[in-house]
Amino acid sequence: MVRNIFMFVNKMEKIRIIVLEGCDRTGKGTLLENLKNKFDDFLVYNPVSAEKEKVDYKNPQKFEEWIRKTIRKVLDDLYTMAKLDGTDRPIVMDRLLLTDNVFADLFDREHVVEKYFGREIESNFKLTNYIMLWRNPEEYKDRVNLLKENQDFTEKEIDDILSLFNEYKKSDDIVKLIDNTDTPEDILDDFVSTFIEETPKWKLEHDSTTH
């Protein structure tokens, strides 16, 4: 089944994906839910919601086992969604390649997604990264405290994460800086205005190659 789907994708245009990349607790999951409930312009895929096991990001061996299994399923799901939908609506999803590169550097492990799936992703998908970042470590700490959750990262690690995202981002990536005054509605409005009202650069480039 996987082979048949992959062959199908190779015969068509690249699948358009908007990836919500970035820091923890910036509202990526909430944005996906709001898009799913309020707009028909996007297909929404959230692989994280289906993954219940606790992942140890700081254990290279355990993380590699988990991410290889997870990304294989994610890519197969994306092929299936594109085939069944039959339209040119972009798929919006939570994290793929960029965040793994950042956390690989942060925790000194291999770039697992790029190593095992980079060529396949490049060949079959047209990615646009919508990067959601805290402005500074204090914003992250305030948000975690507000949610009464444990802080997963130190202040230095948050600083490093912000620096690494800025290092890896490409010229056509879109960066949204989050602060604790942003409501889910604010974030949704910003996203929609970027990808619907202001026809983004990647769509113009895509359309120009299909005529």
Q: For each of the chain's 211 residues, which pLDDT tens digit applies?
A: 343 344 444 445 899 999 999 998 999 999 999 999 998 889 999 765 445 456 777 778 888 888 999 999 999 999 999 998 887 889 999 999 999 999 999 989 899 999 999 999 999 999 999 999 999 999 999 999 998 998 889 999 999 999 999 999 998 899 999 999 999 999 999 999 888 755 444 444 444 444 4
How many C-beta atoms lie closer than 10 Å to residue 48's C-beta?
A: 15
Tell me the per-residue pLDDT of 47-101, one tens digit each, with 9 for 90 and over: 654 454 567 777 788 888 889 999 999 999 999 999 988 878 899 999 999 999 9
Query: What is the CA 46 to chain-centroid distance, rounded?
Result: 9
Query: Helix, strand, or coil here: 110?
Result: coil
- Paired tokens of 177: 């800086």
By C-alpha distance, which of 165, 43, 136, 53 is closest to 93? 43
Pairing of strands 174-178, 43-45: unpaired
Q: In what order do the strands lie in the sheet with 43-45?
A: 43-45, 91-94, 15-22, 125-134, 174-178
